[in-house]
Amino acid sequence: MINSMTGFASGEAITGAGEISWELRSVNHRYLEAQFRLPEGFRSLEPVLREIIGGKLLRGKVDANLQFRPSADSVATIQINQELANQVISQARNIEKEIHTSGPISAIDILRWPGVVTEASVDLSELFEPAKQLLHETLDSLSTARASEGQRMHTLIEDRLAQISLLVKGVRERMPTVLAGVRNKIQERADTLSAKLDNERLEQELVMLAQKMDVAEELDRLDAHVAETRETFNVDGAVGRKLDFLMQEFNREANTLGSKSADAETTKAAVDLKVLIEQMREQIQNVE
């Protein structure tokens, strides 16, 4: 089973202090990279959260967004330092007397004075464990989504592998006919020449030409790559990089097959192979 690196999951939980929720989005990436958006008060939890994600995912860029909506009972309250406020008002009146002017003292200006208003902080440490547990659960949902997408990609890649096997089989079955046809054409041209050619020398040249056109080795390697790709599907862990390497090997053999082609059908088969390989490669870019 292969897993995709693309997925989305969300989860929420209700606690006495309020509601917490996670949103996780993942896309393909060379390594595992987690980026967090955490409310103030949860930032100290980031190293632990990063370890949790690393314990469940192997590759992909993950955007993790934690939201906290406090309950009415836990909303922070403001406190007014009445003594300091009185001092600010008193000093403001004294200054008015000194400069012989008077004017209304704005209550908002008094409240803006540093230290007059303080906000009672809410202790969020009791939410750390629920947030971690919810992350575990949301990651399980994300893993399920990535596995489902991986199964879809597996089906598409298997279909391409089957088509590659059919193309390879067709080219292999046609090669004796192709080589015989090339040999006959060369023999016919040699027979039309006015100068008599040495039959032994001609036979040597035909053998060398047949060796240059022989694609049996390339076809065998293509079959081997198909088998290895299927075996890789059954390997646990991150296999995306190995599959990407195999696509490079597939492409190399298809290019060689095209360069050795001696007829239009073989050339068409090489082009079709490259199309199928590119389609697989696009899918494999998202494999974990």
3-state class (DSSP) for residue 58: coil
Measured CA to CA, the distance from residue 85 to residue 201 in angstroms comes to 113
pLDDT for the residue numbered 203: 57
Measured CA to CA, the distance from residue 140 to residue 9 in angstroms comes to 9
pLDDT for the residue numbered 209: 54
Q: Are 34 and 64 in contact (CB under 8 A)?
A: yes
pLDDT for the residue numbered 82: 83
pTM to 2 decimals?
Answer: 0.72
Alpha helices in 113-215 (DSSP H): 128-192, 199-213
Q: Which residues contact 114 (CB under 8 A, 6 or more apart)?
A: none
pLDDT for the residue numbered 211: 53
Alpha helices in 193-263 (DSSP H): 199-213, 216-233, 240-260
Q: Which residues contact 191 (CB under 8 A, 6 or more apart)?
A: none
Give the tokens for residue 110: 């008094």
**DSSP conformational letter for 120:** P
Domain ranges of the chain: 7-72+126-145, 78-119, 148-284
**Would you give per-residue pLDDT tens digits along the chain (288 residues)?**
799 999 999 999 998 888 999 999 999 999 999 999 999 889 999 999 999 999 999 999 999 999 998 876 655 566 787 888 888 888 888 887 777 666 667 788 777 778 777 655 566 788 899 999 999 999 999 999 999 999 999 999 999 999 999 999 998 888 877 666 666 666 566 556 545 555 655 555 555 555 555 678 889 999 999 999 999 999 888 899 999 999 999 999 999 988 887 778 888 999 999 999 999 999 999 999
Measured CA to CA, the distance from residue 270 to residue 279 in angstroms comes to 14
pLDDT for the residue numbered 281: 95
Given this structure, which CATH class describes domain 7-72+126-145? alpha beta
pLDDT for the residue numbered 185: 64
Q: Are 62 and 31 in contact (CB under 8 A)?
A: no
pLDDT for the residue numbered 88: 80
pLDDT for the residue numbered 228: 96
Measured CA to CA, the distance from residue 236 to residue 280 in angstroms comes to 20
* Beta-carbon count within 10 A of 1 CB: 11
Give the tokens for residue 211: 């060796």
CATH code of 148-284, in short, is: 1.20.140
Query: For the purposes of burial, counting CB atoms within 10 Å of the CB of 131, is it exposed (0-12), middle (13-18) or buried (19 or more)?
Result: buried
